[in-house]
Amino acid sequence: MVRQTHIVSTSRVPVTVRMASPEFDDLCALVFRRYPDLEWASFARFGWRETSKGLVITLAGLDAPAQGDLDELVGHVKIAEPYTLRTALAAEGHPLAVGIIHSHPEGCRPQPSSIDDDMDGYYGSYFEDFAPGRPYVSLIFSKIDDELALSGRVRWHGKWLQVGRFAIERTPTRTWVGGCRPADGENARERTARLNAAFGDQAASRLRRSTVAVIGAGGTGSAAIEILARAGVGRIIIVDPDHLDESNLERVHGSTPEHVIRRESKASLARAHVMSIDPTCHVDAYVGALPQREIMDAVVTADVALGCTDQQHSRLALSDIALRYLVPSLDCGVMLEGREGKVSGQILQIIRFLSADACALCRSLVFPVRLAQELMSDEERTQRRIAAAAARERGDDPHPYWHEEAQLNTVGYLTTTAGAMAAGYVIGWLSGRFDPPFERLQLNLAGKFLDVTDFEVIPRADCICRRVRGWADQASADALISPPLHWAPPQAL
Amino acid sequence: MSFERIERELAILGEGCQIAQLITSSGRTLVLYRNVPTSGPRFSLPEVTDVIVPVPPGYPAALIDLAGLPVGSPFLPRVKGGQNNQGTLEADGRLWQLASYHPHNGGGGPPWDQTRYGFHTYIDHLIAWLDRLT
Q: What is the pLDDT of residues B28-77, one digit of tens each?
A: 899 999 999 999 999 999 999 999 999 999 999 999 999 999 999 999 99
Query: Among the listed ranges A139-153, A184-198, B109-123, which one has the minimum average pLDDT value?
Result: A184-198
- CB of A475 less than 8 A from some CB of B: no
A349 strand-pairing partners: A333, A442
Distance (Å) from the C-alpha of residue B21 to the closest C-alpha of chain A?
17
- Please give the pLDDT value at position A1: 44
Chains A and B: how many Cβ contacts under 8 Å?
92
Question: Which chain A residues contact residue B4 at CB under 8 A?
Answer: 476-477
Per-residue model confidence (pLDDT) at position A4: 59
Q: Which of A180, A179, A205 is nearest to A192 (CA)?
A: A205
Task: Record the pTM.
Answer: 0.92
Cross-strand partners of A334: A348
3-state DSSP helix/strand/coil percent for chain A, to nearest 5? 35, 25, 40
Q: Which of B25, B29, B84, B101 to mutate to test the interface with A (most CBs of A within 10 A)?
A: B84
> A444 vs A251, A342, A406, A426, CA distance in Å?
19, 14, 19, 21
* More confidently predicted of A187 and A381: A381
Q: What is the 3-state secondary structure (H, E, C) of A281-300?
A: CEEEEEECCCCCHHHHHHHC
Q: Which residues contact A324 (CB under 8 A, 6 or more apart)?
A: A47, A58, A468, A469, A470, A471, A472, A473, A475, A478, A479
Residues A378-389 have pLDDT tens digits of: 998 999 999 899
Residue A459 class from Cβ within 10 Å (0-12 exposed, 13-18 middle, 19+ buried)? middle
**Residues above pLDDT 70, as percent of chain B:** 99
Over residues A305-312, mean pLDDT: 93
pLDDT at res. A185: 60
User: Using one digit for the tens of pLDDT, what is the confidence trace for A424-459?
Assistant: 999 999 998 899 889 999 999 888 888 888 888 888
**A residues 97-126 closer than 8 Å to B (CB):** none
The average pLDDT across A344-354 equals: 92
Residue A477, chain B, CB below 8 Å: the answer is yes
**ipTM attached to this prediction:** 0.87
